[in-house]
Amino acid sequence: LRLKDLEVAELGDSDVHVKMLAAPINPADINMIQGTYAILSPLPAVGGNEGVGEVLEVGRRVGALKPGDWVIPAGAGVGTWRTQGVFPEETLLKVPSDIPVLCAATLSVNPCTAYRMLTDFETLAPGDSVIQNAANSGVGQAVIQIAKAFGLKTVNVVRDRPDLPKLVERLMALGADHVVTEEMLRKPEMKDIFKSIPKPRLALNCVGGKSTMEMLRHLQPKGTLVTYGGMAKQPVMVPVSAFIFRDLRLRGFWMTQWRKEHAQDQESLAGMMDALCQLIRRGQLTAPACTEVPLQDYKAALEASMKPFTSSKQVLLL
């Protein structure tokens, strides 16, 4: 990865010239650079799949955007770690400029993933509960807040760590109902949690391995486990009894795929973005804990983003 000065491309009739404002570093960005992600940009490429920018100029055939509008990427692979860029209009989505810049910069991946997983797999009603691992991740923090806004209860699993009490306090402040460690999932005390809230019908898995198997134990019969990440780099192991006697469902979710499948369904996309922006305006959905880093310090930001037990998202200021 190198920082380079490039000429800004010429503005075509259907293009938009954008000044980038802020762009986060997500695990998928790192995977793309490592060459291990499901989609890879042809090299040489600009890193970053998420961020927010301000429109400077538009081509003469551009109808939906004007200078001053805020935009975010409509899909993956546009390359957001840059100060300016010229993008085809269809690769951008307009977002309101009255929401905080860090909320806009981190809107298109994690909150959308959380929203879809909470609405697409189980029909949940206020009072129902959800269990998730990696609860301090960007998606995890969004799940806690969106679930609370929907009236759902959350059981949030995190890895044990030196500053555990501080993390528990932060997640509870976001609206978590219960925060437990992976070790606690195996203990009888879990029964006490399910005296006050129903057993979950939905489990969200970003880890894999043993953590997932322990979560499965607490799912209601006919419940659904949705896997959207594999941080432990271990397979999801499921006892045969979970399928036969409890008829559990295992599903997968990838936001990029959802966008591809709904490319012609502007109503679904607009409805989701509108719902999320309303939650942001009402203070019910905030950006994850962020560390703001100038673009020239990108190396330090990348290193920090790959450290274990990182609870703050590195955001490049452009």
CA distance 105 to 20: 10
Contact assessment for residue 147 and residue 175, using Cβ atoms and an 8 Å cutoff: yes
> Which strands make up the sheet holding 178-181, listed edge to edge?
178-181, 153-158, 129-132, 202-205, 224-227, 249-252
Q: Are the beta carbons of 135 and 208 closer than 8 angstroms?
A: no
Which amino acid belongs to residue 64? A
DSSP-assigned beta bridge partners for residue 250: 225
Residues 15, 89: contact at Cβ < 8 Å?
yes
Quick one: three-class SS letters along 106-169? CCCCHHHHHHHHHHHCCCCCCCCEEEECCCCCHHHHHHHHHHHHCCCEEEEEECCCCCHHHHHH
Q: Encoding tokens for residue 178?
A: 């219960």
Please identify every residue annotated as catalytic.
37
- Compute how many other C-beta atoms are within 10 angstroms of the C-beta atom of residue 296: 9
| DSSP secondary structure letter of residue 249 | E
Would you say 81 and 46 are in contact if contact means Cβ atoms under 8 Å apart?
Answer: yes
Match 């935009």 to its residue by tokens: 71
Asked if residue 200 has a cis previous peptide bond (ω within 30° of 0), the answer is no
